[in-house]
Amino acid sequence: MNHYSKHMIRYLVLLLFAPALWAQPVAVPLEQLEPTLEHNQSTHVIVKVIDKYHYKNSKLDDEASEQILDRYLEALDPNRFFFLASDINAFSKYEESLDDYLKSGRVDPAFHIFRIYRMRVEEAVAHANKLLDKDFDFTIDESYQYDRTEAPWVQTRAELDEIWRKRVKNDFLTLRLTDKDDAEIRKTLKGRYERVMHRVEQFDANDVYQTFINAYTLNLEPHTSYMSPSTSENFDISMRLSLEGIGAVLRSEDEYTVVQKTVVGGPAQLSGQLHAGDRIVGVGQGLDGEIEDIIGWRLQDVVEKIRGPKGSVVRLSIIPKELDTGGKRSTITLVRNKIKLEEQAAKSSIIQGLEGMGDLKIGVIEVPTFYRDFAAEARGEQNFRSTTRDVRKLLTELKQESVDGVVIDLRENGGGSLTEATELTGLFIDKGPVVQIKDASGNVELETDTDETLAYGGPLAVLVDRNSASASEIFAGAIQDYHRGIIIGEPTFGKGTVQTLVDLNRFLPGKSKDLGRLRLTMAQFFRINGDSTQHRGVVPDIQFPTAAYTNDYGERSLDNALPWAEIKPAGYTPKGNGTVTNLLQQHLSRIEKDPGFQMLVKEQEQLTEMEKRTEVTLLESRRKAEWDQREQERLQRKNRFRISQGLVALDAEQTDENKDEEEVDEAESKAANHIQLDEAARILVDSIKLTAPIAVMR
């Protein structure tokens, strides 16, 4: 499928914190699914604001109209399980008119299409439930195409019924392979399909409007989006309340709840058991509560099940990211807790004693986010908390430990304060420009470090990965442009745009009803060498082998992301020549037989292979054999790495419910986290040795 619909249209982020924000949902009568006066007013404002202030100079014309229609249909029926080709043909009358509707503030077509969609969902679910009353023959050699995003729309009801027959059979087989009995499977699946229908029936007029307007706004580029009044309110509440829960960010993808990321300092991240890309398919309360199947649930309802009071236990049934949806499930146990904000702060450690390091010591500073306590600063507090202040203190401590070099670890750092990115760069250069910002009018503003003092002038490396984004890319790009340090890891996320929240009510003074807000892209970041961080990200000087699998990740995976661009370079003076040829050869030679990197690459290969697959066998014997083979290969890879780290090998029969096993998994997670970090330290050591006998600056 195209990555836009997969990652953006159905994308919804919710932090699993705080008390429940949603009431028990009820079905919305069809006659209430009509646009309101507020929808018309909001549309007028949104279209005008985008035309005047959006960074991308795009036209709302017939071509855009056709694209908006396609994206709206993708948002509703991404896998083409509900609409018939005859429906799509009927909707084609809007292909060249949606732009005119939007300009006039009307959104009637969106509601007409949604009402048809809701009827088609009800028909499909009724058919699925009838299928569950029959038996399935799992000795027939046939396959099921579970990814139909690129398939043609189905012509006849009979064809659609056949697709649903295979879908239900696949769902049945998947649960059958988890040793559930047939009666339990039928009960689980009936509930799952009913929830698919109920989820659609709970869409009210505002939900329909938000979905359609986002088909329009996200057609511009991925980071412009509309938030309805209720979505805005929930967003504000979640930002104000105390951070309690498991500490995870989730998104809805097809009918699965997928972990977007774990929050540093939260129970999920600290446990080492839940990772980005894992799918949560079941939730149980307490140590022995029944695990409830949540496939097909609305994301809001899943969140209500997972979060809860501090100290309570939640158990999650997950399918690891490297397995397909029919893969073996594991169960993890987490204790909900308040997010430890000190865990989100920068922290330091020292690496020494690795093979080839000799007596050299490398300091590591992990920076999970670019934070700044703006509230404390506004109150006039002199010692307010910030990334730069914390890192400066850590550098002082590391110099007192006589480290020979420093690695700044920005893996999984999604960004934060632009001010902090600029000031943090200033700790490693005397003074000079850090980043350029170009607005929609073409004006370029320069963010500059004016502090001539150096906090640290010695050997430096910056470790990044595919999730290092925004402010992380500004810092890494500046260090690379100044040749101040070696950039190591994977190409970064590639988010080089700037957004602002626009309150739509400000354009209609005196309006009593809330119109919601628009998240608007209004500027773009450019490095001081003139290159954008957008799309390409920051490409490391030395790339790890997993970098080969990042082409379809981040901004690069989105078919309508703003492209890479360049402007005139800023005036700056590089600090070195940036040559890394000798370092690269040593690195490649070293990791060729490294069991840690071998595991990472093999897991990435398997994940990439799974993502390319669009169908699965419905022959039970073959399905089980494929499942067992993948599990055996995965276990062998993990054990080779575990043994290399002095950890005990896993047995295929060991269960995830065993407390000792969870502790071993946490040890494995910590060891895996050091695979790349240790190699970054070795690369920096190689660099230091190459410059000897030049004295190392402390």
Looking at the annotation, which residues are catalytic?
A: 470, 481, 495
How far apart are alpha carbons 422 and 12 in whole angstroms? 30
Residue type, 494: G
Could you tell me if 9 and 253 are in contact, meaning their C-beta atoms sit under 8 angstroms apart? Answer: no
Please identify which residue in the block is written with the tokens 């580029």: 221
Sign of CA dihedral 246, 249, 253, 255: positive
- DSSP-derived letter for residue 542 is E
Question: Quick check: helix, strand or coil at residue 474?
Answer: helix
Neighbouring residues of 198: CB distance < 8 A, sequence distance ≥ 6? 25, 27
Residue 509: cis peptide before it, omega within 30 degrees of 0: no
Could you tell me if 299 and 252 are in contact, meaning their C-beta atoms sit under 8 angstroms apart? Answer: yes
CA angle at residue 681 from 677 to 684, to 5 degrees?
Answer: 140
How far apart are alpha carbons 192 and 293 in whole angstroms? 8
Could you tell me if 391 and 427 are in contact, meaning their C-beta atoms sit under 8 angstroms apart? Answer: yes
Q: How many CA atoms lie less than 13 Å away from 264 in the CB half-sphere?
A: 18
How far apart are alpha carbons 411 and 462 in whole angstroms? 9
φ, ψ of residue 387 to 5 degrees: the values are: -60, -50
Could you tell me if 686 and 680 are in contact, meaning their C-beta atoms sit under 8 angstroms apart? Answer: no
Structure tokens at 441: 């009018």
Structure tokens at 473: 């890319």
Structure tokens at 11: 């994308």
Q: How far is CA 133 from the centre of its chain?
A: 39
Could you tell me if 388 and 423 are in contact, meaning their C-beta atoms sit under 8 angstroms apart? Answer: yes
Q: Which residues pair with 226 in a beta bridge?
A: 518
Q: Which residues of 513-541 are buried (b: 16+ CB within 10 A; e: fewer)?
A: ebbbbbebbbbbbbbbbebbbbbbbbbbb
Rg (CA), the chain: 26
How far apart are alpha carbons 591 and 587 in whole angstroms? 6
Structure tokens at 237: 């509440």
Q: Which residues pair with 84 in a beta bridge?
A: 154
- In angstroms, the first-to-last Cα distance of the chain is 52
Helix and strand tally (H, E) in the chain?
A: 20, 21
